[in-house]
Each structure stands twice: as structure tokens, then as C-alpha cells.
Chain A
Amino acid sequence: MLVELKKICKDYPQGKEMLRVLNEVDLSVEEGEYLAIMGPSGSGKTTLMNVLGFLDLQTSGDYLLNGVSYVEASDNDLAKVRNEEIGFVFQNYYLLPKMSARDNVALPLLYAGVPKKERLARADEALKSVGLEGFEHALPSTLSGGMCQRVAIARAMIAKPKLLLADEPTGALDTVSGSQIMDIFDELNAEGTTIIMITHEPAIAKRAKKTMYIRDGILTAERKEEEEL
């Protein structure tokens, strides 16, 4: 089992009380799976992603990645896990505006200590695989939203992580660019990458092999009836 969540709770302080954003979430994801998670805004989707990506620590419950718990891990260890095991794709791409596409893509390898020459060669290759050959030196501001998101995917995948976490990857894109992104996800999944994707759009969720639903911090395999309206 690649990902295993057991009774994960996450509380945030809200005024004097604690707000339970994730409520006893159980989730198992096997290698090679492609899971979409849907839910209304404020239901805890991003929070779940942050826990899955070791950007945030659960309040209680166990999270095993590849059978390993990182509850006690140091800041540097977590940085290493994020760097090597997980690829992140965000709704707003989060590219560094002053860096070329190539340098943006190569960034995770810099943190992994890969020599510059190899870094850049692999970045070019990764850009090619998302159809951006020839845009190596382009600044993000000169690229369309769809292209930016493809650069972000190249960056997420350059260290060849097993797990790709995508938080509304098409949320800021038109349908054509969105479906291009989904094509890339399909390819990645076909090559063996495990994908967990959050989305609002049923059409996008349908591209995944499996869909789950979250509401008020509770994750279920079935959609609640009132949401179908």
C-alpha cells in the first residue's frame, strides 16, 4: 500500500474553539491508482492534500507512506520526502516568475543535490514530455495558463516521485487546456505514477479511475444524494 490514512483528524483553532477540518479520514491508495476527490468548497480537500504531502501534520491518526510514518520526522527529513517521493501540482501553478521554465522545472533536482548539467538536461527532457520543447528559456509570464500548468507538472515529475498530488489542477484553466492536462495525467498514470487529484468538476473527476467524496471533513466512497442536484 502506497498511502494509508487511519482515522486522520485535523483541527484548526477558530476563535476559542477548535474547528475539525478532517474528521477520522480513512484512505488506502495502492500504487498505480488514480483517485479523484470531490467536495464542496471548505470541505477540507486542500487540508487533506497538505497532510498527504507532509506540508501539514495531522492532529491525530496515522499516515503511512510506503509503510513508513513520518510523525516524528525532522524538518529536513520531511523536506527530503517531499522532494523525492511526492510531486505537487497546485491550482495556481506556483512557478517562480523570474526563472525560466527550465530553471523552474530543475528546482527539485537542485534541492536533491543533482549537478547542474544533469539538472538542466533532465529539465529539458521533462519539458519535452509535457509538449513544451522550445520553451526552455521562456519566463512564466510569457506562457499561457495551460502551458504554465504543464511546466508545473514537469517540475512535479522531474524527480520521478511515486505519488502525484494535484489540488484542482484545472481549476484556473479553460476546458481545452484542462483536458490537455488530463491527457498528461493519463500518460503519467499509465507509466505507473499514482495520482491523487482534487477537483470541483465532475468531467475532470471522470478521467480518474476512482472518485471519492469529502464533506465537512468526512471522506466517503459514495456521493451524498443532495450533492447530485
Chain B
Amino acid sequence: MKENIRLSFQGIWSHKMRSFLTMLGIIIGIASIITIVSTIRGTNEQIKQNLIGAGNNAVVVQVYQNDYAMEFQWTQIPEGIKPIDEKMRNHLANIEGAADASLFTSRNYLDGVYYKKTAFNGELYGIDSHYLDIYGYELSYGRGFTDADYERMTKCVLLDQRAASTIFSGANPIGEVLEIRGEPFTVIGVVAMNSSFQPTIESMQDYWMYAETTSGKIFMTNAAWPTVYKYDEPYSVAIQAKTTDDMAKVSQKAGELLTANLIPEELRMSSQISYKGRNLMEDAQQLQQITNSTSQQLIWIASISLLVGGIGVMNIMLVSVTERTREIGLKKAIGARRSRILGQFLTEASVLTTIGGLLGVLAGIIMARLISQFMGIPTAVSVPSIILATAFSMVIGLVFGLLPAVKASKLNPIEALRRE
């Protein structure tokens, strides 16, 4: 075997040009596949990181009716849902793969929030003490919520930077009073997302639809929430997973746990009410699907190159068998078994295609680098795909080398020796 491999290298080296041209189809095919796979992986990885994980790996679990999240601004709160207490929150934060959990309420379409007669139409949140940490907010100036604020249901709010700039356009908001559904709320601080938590979406157009287009967020304590909104509104839960990959699992688990413990059976059955995680992974997967399906077509095209390459290998191996008829005949005459001749030619074919595959992998990696450098498309070369590509090119050699090798092994020694 070792001897066969050595001889194969010798044979390939002695016909450098011919071997290279034969390998070309394999090189091009493998290089294209590596490039395409790297580009898909890179793009998908970016989608996953920026879109779903966005640095904080938080996923919202809330009350759903069928497949729609219930907006309590518009719909009635179903009777019988038990509230989430601190014990349950703790329980959620300790689900395998979860890092933390926060209880909050929110409004997306505001109508009753004014600053000096000017309406604010951003988002409003009633949050517990875990929320800001989970989403990576840090205090820019002013003060944050204290335990006292929660206990006394103090009417105070924090603004995010965007809300601060849309409402106060540069002026100091601390101490100013906002009117929320008729109640005065004092601005006590401004928070900003830690830069590492901010999505770094730049190049891909697809990402724009995920960019924030609201006029900002206002946070009050979830304790003060009932002073302006309904007192029995079920909390939504923001669960932070340890890794992006854990998000789906954790949110599903949380949804099951909350549904089983807090939503009465008849509500589940009759009205299809349950706690569910917003499946961000699904959103991202849909986006990834688009890249995947276009790439799959490209891979088909690349496979044709591999097929053509394989046929080229078969052709050149048949030529080689004819050229080496005498060698084969002599070897058989002095005692080489069929299997040895078969092995020799199969080895030669697969060494040829494996070298082609390795060169293709190399070319593919270089291509991927160039693409990410000059076209700004992210790429990620994966080790499994390299191994797979190399193994696959070896298999191509075995498959397309089989016919020539069988032909060689069946050669009749006298026929072979008679040919001068």
C-alpha cells in the first residue's frame, strides 16, 4: 500500500502537465464548493450572531393565542392566568442553558405619553431589576431604579439614548416630567446599550429590516406599571441563554414550564392560550434558507465540474492502462495477483484526485479570503467541510478509477506481453 502510494506519486510527477490538467476539474469543483460553503457559513453565522444573539442571547417568552403574541393593549386579558412570582422567575433563570430571567410588560404603540403636549410614540416598558442587565444597558447619566422605587411604586422613568434625543433633542432630561396616561413620571436617568451588545449589522441589506426604527424606549418599574395600566396584566419574560445555540431550547423549556404551571387547562384547550418563546431562530433560519437555497444551486453546478473531473480521471486512467499494458503483463507473469494490479490503479486514481481535492481546498480557502476581503461578504471556512471535500475527492478517484483498474487487473498476460 505504502509502495503503491509512492509509485502513484512517482507516476503523477512524471506526467506533471497531464496530471495537473486531469486534476483541474476536481480542483475547480472542490474549490467552488469550499468557497460556496464558506460564504454560506459566514453569512449564516453573521445572521445568527447579529440577528438572534445580538450579543445578549435574550429571548422573549410571552402569552400567545395560537401563533400570535397577545398584545394586551388591544386584547382582553384572558381570565385565570396565574401571575409569575419571584420563585417562578428564579426557576426560569435556572433552566439548563439559561443565564438570567426578567419579568416585564410593554407597549409598542403608545398613545398617552407626552412631554409638554408633544406625543412620544416609541416603546414603553415596565421592567424588573434584571431587565437592563440582560439587554446590556448601562447608565449613561442620572441614576437607576432603586429598591425603594420598586417598593413605593415611584413614578419615575429611565430613557434610552434615542428616546432622550427624540424627546429632549440634546437638552438635559433629568428631573423633567413626562405625562404617561395622565400621571406625572420624573426622568431619573438615561441608559445606553453597551457597544458590544449592539447588533453590528452593516453590509447586508437583509439586515435593515431588523434595524431599530422606533423613536426610542422608556422604562418604568414593573411595580409602577399598574398605576397607569391594568393591574393583572401577565408578565412577559426575557430569558437570557448562555449561548446563541441554547436560545431556542431555553425559550421552549420556559414556555412549557410557564404554560403548565400558570395557564389553566381549559384556557389552554378552549382558547389555545399558552406561553411561547418568540422564535427568533426561526426568523433567522428563514433568512438563512434564502442563502442556503441559492447556494445549493451553486453547489449543484460545482458538482457537475466534479463529475466532469471524475470522467477526465477515468479517461486518463484508461490511457494509462493502455500505455502500461506491458508493465501489467510482466507483473502478472511473474506472480502479481489481480487484486494487486487493481489496488495499484485504484491507489493511483485516488491519489490523483485527492491531490486535486487538496489543491481545490487550498484554492477555495484563498477564494473565500479574497471574497471576504474585496466584496465584504463574510466567510467562514469549516474544518468538517475541508475533511469532507478531501474525502469526497478520494472517493471520486475510487469510483472513476474502478473501471480502468478492473480492466487492468483482467489483462491477459500473454496479450500484454505480445504487444510490442
Chain A residues closer than 8 Å to B331, beta-carbon distance: 107, 111
Known: A76-B338, A79-B337, A111-B337. Is A50-B414 also a contact (CB below 8 A)?
yes
Contacts of B110 in A (CB 8 A): none
Task: Give the CA-CA distance A68 to B287 in the complex, in Å.
Answer: 76
Instruction: Decide yes or no whether A63 CB sits under 8 A from chain B.
Output: no
User: Chain B: how many interface residues by the 8 Å CB criterion?
Assistant: 19
- Asked if A55 contacts B413 (CB within 8 A), the reply is yes
Q: Pick the contact of A94 from B3, B326, B335 — CB < 8 Å? A: B326
Q: Determine the distance from Cα of A111 to Cα of B413 in the docked complex, in whole angstroms.
A: 16
What residues of A have a CB within 8 angstroms of the CB of B297 in the complex? none
A80-B330 contact, Cβ under 8 Å, with A50-B414, A55-B413: no
Distance in angstroms from A74 CB to nearest chain B CB is 10
A111 B338 Cβ-Cβ under 8 A: no
CA distance A83 to B144 in the complex (A): 92
| B375 interface residue per 8 A CB criterion | no
Determine whether A143 belongs to the interface, using a CB cutoff of 8 Å to chain B: no
Contact at B336–A79, with CB atoms within 8 Å?
yes
Among residues of B, the one whose C-beta sits closest to the C-beta of A77 is B337
Residues of B within 8 A of A155 (CB): 334
A111 and B336: CB pair below 8 A?
A: yes
B283 interfacial by beta-carbon distance below 8 Å: no
Q: Mark B320-341, 1 if CB is under 8 A from A, else 0.
A: 0000001100111111111010
Residues from chain B with a CB closer than 8 A to the CB of A92 are: 420
With contact pairs A94-B330, A98-B14, A107-B331 given, residues A55 and B336 touching in the complex (Cβ less than 8 Å): no
Q: How many residues of A contact B (CB 8 A)?
A: 24
What is the bound-complex CA distance between A108 and B417, given in angstroms?
Answer: 17
Give residues 80-106 of A contacting B (CB, 8 Å): 80, 82-84, 88, 90, 92, 94, 96, 98
A75 contact from B14, B327, B333, B338, Cβ within 8 A: B338
- Contact call A79/B330, Cβ cutoff below 8 A: no
Q: Is the CB of A107 within 8 A of B414?
A: no
A217 within 8 A of B: no
Bitwise interface map of A from 36 to 61 toward B, beta carbon under 8 Å scored 1, else 0: 00000000000000100101100000
B172 partner residues in chain A, CB cutoff 8 A: none
Q: Which residue of A lies closest to B418 (CB)?
A: A46
When C-beta atoms are compared, the residue in chain A nearest to B7 turns out to be: A98
Q: How far is the CA of A111 from the CA of B335 in the complex (A)?
A: 6
Nearest chain A CB to B342 CB, angstrom units: 12
CA distance A79 to B337 in the complex (A): 6
CB-CB under 8 A from A83, the residues of chain B are: 334-335
Chain A residues within 8 Å of B332, by CB: 79
Chain B CB within 8 A of A221 CB = no
How many angstroms between the C-alpha atoms of A225 and B14 in the bound complex?
54
CB of A82 within 8 A of CB of B10, answer no
Q: How far is the CA of A84 from the CA of B335 in the complex (A)?
A: 8
**In this assembly, does A112 line the interface, its C-beta being within 8 Å of a C-beta of chain B?**
yes
Q: Residues of A contacting B413 with CB < 8 Å?
A: 55
In the complex, A74 Cα to B355 Cα: how many Å? 37
A82 contact from B14, B326, B327, B334, Cβ within 8 A: B334
Q: Is the CB of B414 within 8 A of A82?
A: no
Chain A residues with a Cβ under 8 A of chain B: 50, 53, 55-56, 75-76, 79-80, 82-84, 88, 90, 92, 94, 96, 98, 107-108, 110-112, 155, 159
